[in-house]
Amino acid sequence: MSKEMLIAMLSMNQHPTLKRIRIQLLVESTAWILFLALYYNLFDGDQKPVFWNIAFIISVGLMLVHNFLGYQVIGNPVKGTNIAQSLKLYLLKLKKYAYLSVSARVFSLCMLLGYFLSGIEVLEQRYYVSIIVFGLITIIQAIVLWRIWAKRIQIISSKYQQLTS
């Protein structure tokens, strides 16, 4: 890939990796908004403690803020005086956002777990089974998300290496 093509992709924000991230963020935001709009009726929000309703709303709000920040991060990758500096700064922002992304999801999943388990007696067997299942899902999702972000960062990092070598 030539420097001119790379500059054109970044200036028009048309890089395939950036497009995939943007699509992912838009789909997720739409799903979270629908989930938030329907949760109270679908998941008996009126029968849950107020604390867990608030935690649920905060966790979904955190995911929406996370997606908005992600959209801002990928929105304008050209920030430096030249393309190499822009890519270097962009990589730093993308790495920070990747940590935020995985952390926000793990936190939100934990809050959602608390919400859904708040109606189950602690001594019931399904309570402990649910904790184990949700714990495994959370760990697996964190690993998968980190691998996705590592791959995205590696792709952009390789473009930076090509440009600077």
pLDDT digits (tens, 9 = 90+) for 109-155: 888 888 888 877 777 777 788 889 888 999 999 999 999 999 989 98
Quick one: pLDDT at residue 8?
A: 59
Quick one: pLDDT at residue 12?
A: 47
Closest CA to 97 of 149, 160, 139, 138: 149
Quick one: pLDDT at residue 23?
A: 84
Quick one: pLDDT at residue 11?
A: 52
What is the spatial distance between Cα 32 and Cα 63, in angstroms, rounded to a whole number?
A: 8
Does the structure show a pLDDT above 60 at 92?
yes
Neighbour-count burial of 143, counting CB atoms closer than 10 A to its CB (0-12 exposed, 13-18 middle, 19+ buried): exposed
pLDDT digits (tens, 9 = 90+) for 7-60: 555 554 566 767 777 788 789 889 988 988 888 888 888 888 899 889 988 998
